[in-house]
Amino acid sequence: MKKLNIGLLGYGFVQREFHMPSYKEIPEANIVAVGGRTKEAVKEFANSFGIKSTYSGENFIEKLCKDPKVDVVDIGIPNFLHKKAVMSATENGKHVICEKPLARNVEEAKVMLRAVEKTGVI
């Protein structure tokens, strides 16, 4: 089976303690990038897990979502950024894994669902 190249948005507790150990159990999962606001924290997380590509600063979401190596974007950033991340991922043809809650309200969730359906990603 083809490996899926995963880009992580976020480097906090959930990514570190839950997502990364889970990905290590999935032979088809290949973590290729991590992004977050703080450059030092992103680099530290990447070094801890042997992740080569890092994105930080104001446009870290868009930068990671445009990375041609990334097939799937794992969204583990603050809830108010989920919609922005889903929209950027789908616009770039990336599949999405989003930490709960998906959205802050029903309307945001509907917008994200339409974006996923329109682009044909999962």
How many structural domains does the chain have?
Answer: 1
Q: By residue range, what is the domain housing residue 95? A: 4-119
Q: How many CA atoms lie within 13 A of 24 on its CB side?
A: 10
| pLDDT grade for 1, boundaries at 50, 70 and 90 | confident
Distance CA 3, CA 104 (A): 32
> Tens digits of per-residue pLDDT, 68-116?
999 999 999 999 999 999 999 999 999 999 999 999 999 999 999 999 9
| Neighbouring-strand partners of residue 31 | 6
Predicted confidence at residue 39, as pLDDT, reads 98
> Tens digits of per-residue pLDDT, 15-70?
999 999 999 999 999 999 999 999 999 999 999 999 999 999 999 999 999 999 99
The 3-state DSSP class for residue 53 equals strand
Q: What is the CATH number of the domain that holds 110?
A: 3.40.50.720
The pTM for the full model equals: 0.96
Spatial CA neighbour of 33 closest among 70, 60, 86, 61: 70
Predicted confidence at residue 80, as pLDDT, reads 98
